[in-house]
Amino acid sequence: MVFNSSIHYLNGDLYIDAISVDEVANQVGTPTYVYSLKRVLENYNRLKTAFAQLDTHIHYSAKANSNLAILKSLSEAGAGVDTVSMGEIYRAIQACVDPQHIVFAGVGKTRQEIDYAIQQDIGWFNVENVLELDYIQASAKAQNVEAVNVALRLNPQVTANTHPYISTGHGGAKFGLTAEVIEGILEKQAKYPNIKFAGIHLHIGSQLGDKDATIQAVEKAVALIQPYPQIRTINMGGGIPVPYHFDEETPSIESFAQSLVPLLKDYAVLLEPGRSIVADAGILITEVQYVKQQAGQTFYITDGSMAELIRPSLYQAHHEIVPVKKSDGDLTVNIVGPVCETADVLAKDRVLPEMNVGDKVVVMTAGAYGMVMASNYNARLRPAEVVVSADGESWSVARKRETLEDLLRHEMH
């Protein structure tokens, strides 16, 4: 059985490229994230090809997964990085990303973060507040930087067809600026002599269910910047959807790109995909600690929990669960973690083989918004991250499992 070009069964054992998942688990322990760099690069190249008709540059959205190995390999393939904090800018620079290929977005950038980003000479600010422009102007002037590239983020007041927690482009959201405010800013550009208003930015949400809202938003953006010929760049944000169910169809990026070509052909286009590059390149390996029968249900209690992967608890997100070794028997089970929260359920009512203590199960499509949202809740140690090399033949630990000492590192004791 094949899940995607990198993740498949071979003689009943789960593999990620040429690497046995069981072998990684035996050597590194569980819970552990494993990422296929091959699949990451394939997803990146597929996007690049889909948008090849436009003058496109891809900025990978680091918030989906900011492991240095992933940032490095995407940067070597030509991607820039979209960041939302000083920490992400720092990570991108540590991964040798050219600062000119770093975009800094976010609704609440602090003055310290703005100073840092200008000092690092990053390529773009996506701006979401009028006051933020004053800070950028003051910081650029103080640091003798002649022109900081700004893309104003339009809140296009469209409602994306997605989960309410990841929808950002509707009128009531905290994100972006209204068209009226953007017009007001562009009329008063002289107030900001050290800022170059060169772009417009959009990001209406994540896991977008159809292309209609995006097209509407792009149309609004194009109409808005028409009178300002210096605005040559449209940053489309991210949001390209990923299937989380085995039988799910998501709109193809090729058709999505095709419908945008006529609208965007006269502009430089920036894309900020996160999920669509890393989600299906990653898995989370866990081990069954207990099998419990209660209230007519069967629970597989694993060493993976909401502390390692919060998406099911936070968004009621669906992740497929598969055994590392195929075996017989069908049982409807709940896969839960050990955290003291009723919400600590990785998956409900799934059909899995009958499993025993010590068997391993994998959470699929866990490469995006997984490890980056992991916490030390319940004083749990954050898991190890393993990467499989771009040729698919070897693997290495990209981030060690935390230790008990790590838990106390910043405490005065």
Ligand X SMILES: *Cc1c(COP(=O)(O)O)cnc(C)c1O
- By the rule CB under 6 A, 203 interacts with ligand X: yes
In the shown chain, the binding pattern of residues 14 to 53 toward ligand X, with x for contact by CB under 6 A and - for none, equals ----------------------------------------
- By the rule CB under 6 A, 370 interacts with ligand X: no
- By the rule CB under 6 A, 239 interacts with ligand X: yes
Helix or strand run (H / E) with residue 41: helix 37-50
Of 117, 240, 264, 333, the one binding ligand X (CB under 6 A) is 240
Here the tokens at position 176 are 């972006």
Q: Report angle CA 261, 263, 269 to the nearest 5 degrees.
A: 70
Q: Tell me whether residue 340 is one of the annotated catalytic residues.
A: yes
Judge contact between 43 and 64, C-beta under 8 A: no
- By the rule CB under 6 A, 365 interacts with ligand X: no
- By the rule CB under 6 A, 272 interacts with ligand X: yes
CB of 82 to ligand X, least distance (A): 5
Distance CA 111, CA 365 (A): 36
- By the rule CB under 6 A, 333 interacts with ligand X: no
Residue whose CB is less far from ligand X, 85 or 276: 276
Residue whose CB is less far from ligand X, 66 or 206: 206
Pick the catalytic residue: 131, 190, 295, 340? 340
Count the helix, strand and coil residues of the chain and give each as a percent rounded to the nearest 5: 30, 25, 40
Residue whose CB is less far from ligand X, 83 or 139: 83
- By the rule CB under 6 A, 64 interacts with ligand X: yes
Helix or strand run (H / E) with residue 131: helix 130-142
CB of 238 to ligand X, least distance (A): 2
Distance CA 351, CA 328 (A): 11
- By the rule CB under 6 A, 155 interacts with ligand X: no
CB of 50 to ligand X, least distance (A): 14
Residues in CB range of 40: below 8 A, 6 or more apart: 70, 73, 74, 277, 278, 281, 367
Here the tokens at position 56 are 């496109």
Q: What is the 3-state secondary structure (H, E, C) of 3-36?
A: CCCCEEEECCEEEECCEEHHHHHHHHCCCEEEEE
Residue whose CB is less far from ligand X, 40 or 240: 240
For ligand X, the binding residues (CB under 6 A) are 61, 63-64, 82, 105, 203, 206, 237-240, 272-276
Which residues does the annotation mark as catalytic? 340
